[in-house]
Amino acid sequence: MNKVDPAQSVIIGSTRLYAIIGDPIAQVGSPRVFNPIMARSGVDAVLVPMRVAAKDLATAWAGLKAIGNFDGVIFTIPHKIPMTKLVDTVLTTGKLVGAVNAARREKDGRWTADMFDGRGCVRGLRDTLGFDPDGKSALVVGAGGAGSAVACALAEAGARRMTIADTVGARAGRLARVVTGTYTATAAQTGAADPKGHDLIVNCTPLGMKPDDLLPLDAGALKKSMTVVDIVLLPEPSKLLAAATAKGCQVMNGLAMLKGQAMEVSRFFGFA
């Protein structure tokens, strides 16, 4: 765990800080994704994990804003939606999704946020699997912050049909309306977490992080023509991706999605 990474900036007095904030936090992959990017870019900065409970978010955020060398932050569960109310400006995608996953300090000290989860997924699908969502049918399981971002990005990328499944039906319905209302070429509807008839299956729930979690969908219905994505990072492979691989599906894990997203967020932060 404490081996030397060949691509991590040495922390000195002038080092600038970035953070990933979530709860739980130990599973996040962002430090090992972003620190090499920053080091290779010659930026004197590091990204560190911060575990902040939902009830403490406003207090923690007020404190972090008071740190002069704190320049940017990535948000994960459960902060993506509440942070839209704590930053000064939410950019277009963040507004549409109703959630943000990155914010940066502007030169005037104000904080701007946007949502990059979904674009990271699409970029990862294209870069690592050569899978283009254009004209395809997708099942999105989970209509929270990540699920909303993935649904919007898939629609933006030309998905023809989409089923959105969430145990909170109203949440799935709201997202389906946002998608169809904005991307008129995409037929989005709510439905069960059933892979049947879809080209792409994306798990956007945290199910799979804990050993006794149920699968987010019926793996028995997976077919080898399907492409399966799981945003869960650990265990690697997740139970869902292990089942999908056994069925012959091509799969993409959370780390690949993070890498695609990292390119977009790095540009937003002003390096890479």
Query: Would you please indicate which residues are annotated as catalytic (active-site) residues?
Result: 80
In the shown chain, the binding pattern of residues 61 to 100 toward a copy of itself, with x for contact by CB under 8 A and - for none, equals: xxxx-xxxxx------------------------------
**Three-state SS for 189?**
strand
For residue 5, the one-letter residue type is: D
27 is an interface residue for a copy of itself by CB under 8 A: yes
37 is an interface residue for a copy of itself by CB under 8 A: no
CB-nearer residue toward a copy of itself: 71 or 166:
71
214 is an interface residue for a copy of itself by CB under 8 A: no
Spatial CB neighbours of 185, under 8 Å, sequence gap ≥ 6: 155, 158, 160
Which region, judged by CB under 8 A, interacts with a copy of itself, from 31-39, 90-98, 101-109, 139-147? 31-39
DSSP string, 100-164: -SEEEE-TTS-EEEE--HHHHHHHHIIIII----TT-EEEEE--SHHHHHHHHHHHHTT-SEEEE
CB-nearer residue toward a copy of itself: 28 or 252:
28
25 is an interface residue for a copy of itself by CB under 8 A: yes
Residue 32 buriedness (CB in 10 A; 0-12 / 13-18 / 19+): middle
Widest pairwise Cα distance in the chain: 56
Contact residues: a copy of itself, CB under 8 A: 1-15, 17, 20, 23, 25-32, 35, 39, 42-44, 46-53, 56, 59-64, 66-70
